[in-house]
Each structure stands twice: as structure tokens, then as C-alpha cells.
Amino acid sequence: MIDKAETPVEPTLADAARAALQGEKAVLTARDFQDFLAGIVTSVIRNVLEVRAGKLKPDEAGERDDATVRQLAQILMGEHERIRLAPAEDAPEPGPELVAEMERNLPALFRNLPEGADPKNPRALMVHAARVFLREIYAMVKAAAADGAKLTDQVLRVRIERLAAVWAARFSGDALGDSPKAQEAAR
């Protein structure tokens, strides 16, 4: 029998938020990061609804999107002043190591870089990856809107969670089981 005092406790997203408010860097575990990405998806959906309702100007929503992309890229590069990503045991460290792993396992993610983007600059590549994530959110919103009355809160929640799970894996350098590490582990 394990004494409760000896049982390691995983920090929660609330613990991370509390740490950030106290001036410490909040640490996001892999699970927290997935929840964080789901929060981004939810925020984008909320912004779309507010634009459609006339409560938010499209330019303001665009500014929010840009801020989200910058913040996400900073977290993934290990440069955010208040949030630190704690990678899983076998995942690369945030920053250039993560970008290199993503390039190796997800080369399609870095195709079609915007004109003027330096393909050798890890920060530029991570900003691009964050923008691709944002575009996938909008594609999911468009597909959800096309479902009309068939779209329930539960269906939307599942779509948000799936998108967040896929991108949490991508942003850890994993090609959803296609990475050399995953193939090695399967042998």
C-alpha cells in the first residue's frame, strides 16, 4: 500500500496558472499542453462567433490570432517568459531540438513557408508551424459549420479534443507513431 504522502502529484493546469500569477514560470506537462491547445481552439471558435455576432471586429480577431501564434511559438521554443513546456521523457526539449525533430518527422509541416521566411531559422519555422495549427483550427470550424444542425456540443467537444491531441503530438515532434523513436519502441 502506498502512503498518500509518497504518491507523486501531477501539477494541474490550475497549478500552472497559479504559478504564473505568482511570477513563477508555469510548467505545462504533455497533458496540460494538450489542454492548453484545446483552449486555443475554443478561443478561436469563440472569436469567430463574436465576429459573426458583431461583438468583435475581424481585425481584432486577427490580432488575437497573431498574438496566439506568437505565444505558442514562444512556448515551443522555450522562450516564453511565464510558461515552460515540460516535454515527455522521450520527447525533445523545446527550442531548436524540437524544431529539428519536427522537421525530421513532419517535413510537410514546413513546406510552403511564407516568402522571406528563413528555412534555417528555428524560430521562423516554429512560427510557421503555429500558423499551420491556426489554419487547421479554421478548417475545423468551417467543417463544423457545414454540419449545421448535426453539430452538437458533444460532437464539437470531441473535434476540439482530437485536434488538440493531434497537434500536441505534432508539437512534441511525433508524427503520430511514425517517428523513428515510436517505430523503435514498436519492435
Task: For strands 26-28 and 83-85, give the pairing.
Answer: parallel
108 phi and psi angles, rounded to 5 deg: -65, -25
The pLDDT of residue 138 is 97
Helices (H), 22-95: 30-52, 58-77
Sign of the Cα torsion 148, 149, 153, 159 reads: negative
DSSP state, 12?
A: P
Calpha distance 143→128 (Å, rounded) = 23
Q: What are residue 26's DSSP bridge partners?
A: 83
pTM above 0.85, yes or no: no
Instruction: Report in angstroms the alpha-carbon separations of 91 from 25, 35, 44, 187.
Output: 20, 18, 28, 19
Alpha-carbon distance 156 to 37, whole Å?
15
User: What confidence score (pLDDT) does residue 5 get?
Assistant: 43
Q: What is the pLDDT along the chain (187 residues), one digit of tens a residue?
A: 444 444 344 556 666 666 656 667 889 999 999 999 999 999 999 999 999 999 999 999 999 999 999 999 999 999 999 999 998 888 899 999 999 999 999 999 998 899 988 999 999 999 999 999 999 999 999 999 898 878 889 999 999 999 999 999 999 988 665 544 444 544 4
pLDDT of residue 90: 83
Domain extent listing, the chain: 11-175
**Cell numbers describing residue 9:** 502529484
